[in-house]
Chain A
Amino acid sequence: AQSVAQPEDQVNVAEGNPLTVKCTYSVSGNPYLFWYVQYPNRGLQFLLKYITGDNLVKGSYGFEAEFNKSQTSFHLKKPSALVSDSALYFCAVRDIDNTDKLIFGTGTRLQVFP
């Protein structure tokens, strides 16, 4: 069975500081990994994905994520946080060998303080 863990319910960071939102995954086959962001009362917006190739992927709004197969992790990062980055972030995985559905983590609320 596939699963995703986001160990932190909330991450607080000061504006201008680097941020990391953690994600680990478990799949039986090869993973496709995604990050989505949800602003209040809005739908899920795609940020970035790892399919294959370079372990460091870059996405929207200056975010990037690093795929680490040995640690089964896909942490989301940004070098310099903005107050406008404050939102709920979801990591998701698809086990491409076995299913088409996307499984989401529990979400991490990012709060960026001015």
Chain B
Amino acid sequence: EPEVTQTPSHQVTQMGQEVILRCVPISNHLYFYWYRQILGQKVEFLVSFYNNEISEKSEIFDDQFSVERPDGSNFTLKIRSTKLEDSAMYFCASHVLAGGPNGELFFGEGSRLTVL
């Protein structure tokens, strides 16, 4: 069964450092998402991406965050200068067609980011 894959599974970084989290969505999917989950808390929407541009973003997704689909397969989340409060599990998700009959998102296993 096709799946969304994420790397790294865990990254530890110093505050102020740049971090790039990588995702390979399911190959025929068209919409891509990043969500995050601070330990023990709810899953929060960060950003959605379609046709090589951001379609929606949350208040969390400020200027420190960016997304890119550099080569047609990878989908990356970059945090420019990490803060302690960026420590969380980051989930990538993909979806075939927005608003289509198959509404579910397919999630990766997550990348745990720890900022020291």
Residues of A within 8 A of B (CB): 32, 34, 36, 42-46, 49, 51, 90, 94, 96, 99-107
Contacts and interface: CB of A to CB of B under 8 A. Distances in A.
A43 B108 contact: yes
A64 B46 CA distance: 29
B98 interface: yes
Given A43-B109, A51-B101, A101 B45 contact: yes
Contacts of A51: 101, 103
- Counting contact residues on chain B (CB < 8 A from A), the size range is 20 to 34
A106 B95 CA distance: 22
Interface string B74-103: 000000000000000001010100110101
A106 B41 contact: yes
B42 A100 contact: no
A43 B110 contact: yes
Among B31, B45, B50, B91, which residue has the most Cβ atoms of chain A within 10 A? Answer: B45
Contacts of A44: 43, 91, 93, 107
Contact of A34 (B4, B101, B103): B103
Interface in B22-73: 31, 33, 35, 41-45, 48, 50, 55-56
Contacts of A104: 35, 42-45
Contact of A43 (B42, B91, B103): B91
B11 to A, nearest CB: 15
A103 B108 contact: no
Nearest to B57: A101
Contacts of A106: 41-42
Contacts of A45: 107
Contacts of A49: 103-104
15 contacts: A34-B103, A43-B108, A43-B110, A45-B107, A46-B104, A46-B106, A49-B104, A99-B56, A100-B99, A101-B33, A101-B48, A104-B35, A104-B42, A104-B44, A107-B43
B99 A96 contact: yes
Nearest to B3: A43
A43 B92 CA distance: 9
